Structure 1
Amino acid sequence: MDWNRVEGNWKQVKGKIKEQWGKLTDDDLDVIDGKRDQLEGKIQERYGYEKDRATKDVDDWYGRQTW
């Protein structure tokens, strides 16, 4: 399964994203619009993470999802 599933179901996935990364605002999520690189960038910005940490966190979150 690839990231296209997240992009295609972004409206439904936004709630799960907010549960995981509560510092992301609704405006952030509207700008991200399902794009993984945008999500990782906003996580770096809001949480002060290094790029590798943001990428790992997104990978871990994605792997835990039950589609």
Structure 2
Amino acid sequence: MNKLIAKGNWNVAKGKLKQKYGELSDDDLAYVEGKEEETIGRIQKTTGATREEIEKVIND
């Protein structure tokens, strides 16, 4: 994924992820630049979704 998302688009991606995976909290989505892998891991842990599913939601 291209550096997860450009920082300016992160809020849009968070909204999409919350819509798809309602159980995500703001803490789960607390993106810190350079922590893309950790962020995706937290989402996977919370939702049980695969990395590919998460990337598809973000990129769509």
Shorter-chain TM-score: what band? 0.5 to 0.7
Displacement of 1:3: 3.8
CA RMSD of aligned residues (A): 2.6
Q: Please say if residues 18 and 24 of structure 1, whose CA atoms lie closer than 8 Å, have aligned partners that are also in contact.
A: yes
Report the alpha carbon displacement of residue 38 of structure 1 after superposing the two structures with TM: 2.2
Going from structure 1 to structure 2, the CA distance change for 1:58 and 1:36 (only over 3 Å counts) comes to farther
Deviations 1:23-64 (A, max 9, x none): 11012112x3474312321123213x3xxx52121233245x
With structure 2 as the length reference, what TM-score do the two structures score? Answer: 0.60
Residue in 2 that maps onto 1:23: 23
Structure number with higher relative contact order (C-alpha < 8 Å, ≥ 6 residues apart):
2
Which amino acid in 2 is paired with 1:43?
A: I
Q: Which runs of 5+ in 2 are unaligned?
A: none
Higher helix share goes to which structure? 1
The aligned length equals: 58
- 5+ residue gaps in structure 1? none
Task: Work out the percentage of aligned pairs sharing the same amino acid.
Answer: 29
TM-score by length of 1: 0.56
Indicate the residue corresponding to 1:40 in structure 2: 40
